[in-house]
Amino acid sequence: MTHYRKRLAVAAAALLLAVSSFAPAQAQETLHRPFVHAYDTSDDMDTAAAAVRASLAAAGLTIAGEYSPYEGALVIAVTSEALQAAASATDYGAYGAVQRVSLTATGAGGTAPIQVTYTNPVYMAHAYRMGGDLADLRKALATELGAEADYGSEDGLTEEDLGAYRYMGFPMFTERFDEHFDLARYDTYAAAVEKVEEGLAAGAAGTSMVYRVDIPGKQQTLFGVGLTRECSGDKYIMERIDFKEMRQTGHLPYELLVTGGDVTALAGRFRIAINFPDLGMVGSHGFTSIMCAPDEIRQALAEAAGADASAAPVSAGNPRSD
């Protein structure tokens, strides 16, 4: 009996060791959310924006551009050498070369209080498959701007979730990050950049340029694009899906990426869903409420790139794997 008890004790100890060694691994799995709430302020928009700009400079960030997509909202696009280095480390990490800081007036008639928020660099680094996790940038923003809480996804997403993300996991109807769209193709990088700049300057399809960032060491340029046309418009979309107490204004603006002579854009269903991963399918605030948006966004960006907007969308050489 003594021998049996000894064997039982050894087995129990082994089981306890196995469970204890497994538990920390589970506990270490980090869940990420797309946005960070820095703080609220009762200042007016101009005063609040000036304070934010000062904090961004202190964090070592450069303002690439800013715009007001609709009344009571301001988006400040920021970049840095470190951010661009991480963006240049992978083929299409350049989509993440800019992070977005937003100020949103939540009082009646677009008045204070103002929510100051920013995109979570770590979340975006994994979602856009960049080089490095941008944890240092996250820390710098938290130090200079603040970080009251991460938000935008109730449950959060793991690094693995983000790396293979598609809305609700529907392989037949939604795209992943690398299933972006070829919008236009030109003989040279210079010609492609010139054509996009011309289209945005002319306001093609209700577009406007928010920023331009050239990726160092590569023939790549990222453009931030404001949209105003119905169905593809920033206001049209956000009025329907950005309805929660904590606003996700930093979803904007959309991007055009020039790589060599190719002009591409992230698929609308991916680009919207990665910032609104909890967005329901149906209802007045669901994806069906903006059903026209993904294709209209593609068409608007294609027109801005000088392409035939009636052309069918195609994958940028990255076929679905499932």
Q: For residues 304 and 300, give the distance between their C-alpha atoms in angstroms, rounded to a whole number.
A: 6
Tens of pLDDT along the chain (322 residues)? Answer: 444 344 434 344 333 333 333 334 334 579 999 999 999 999 999 999 999 999 999 999 999 999 999 999 999 999 999 999 999 999 999 999 999 999 999 987 777 899 999 999 999 999 999 999 999 999 999 999 999 999 999 999 999 999 999 998 776 679 999 999 999 999 999 999 999 999 999 999 999 999 999 999 999 999 999 999 999 999 999 999 999 999 999 999 999 999 999 999 999 999 999 999 999 999 899 999 999 999 999 999 999 999 975 554 444 434 333 3
Topology (CATH) of 35-304: TATA-Binding Protein (3.30.310)
Q: Looking at residue 26, what is its pLDDT? A: 39
Q: For residues 137 and 93, give the distance between their C-alpha atoms in angstroms, rounded to a whole number.
A: 16
Q: Looking at residue 310, what is its pLDDT? A: 53
Q: Looking at residue 107, what is its pLDDT? A: 86
Sequential DSSP letters for 118-159 = EE-HHHHHHHTT-SS--HHHHHHHHHHT--SEEES-SS-B-H
Q: Looking at residue 322, what is its pLDDT? A: 33
Tokens of 316: 């940028």
N-to-C CA span, the chain = 56
Domain positions in the chain are 35-304
Interval 248-297: pLDDT, tens: 999 999 999 999 999 999 999 999 999 999 999 998 999 999 999 999 99
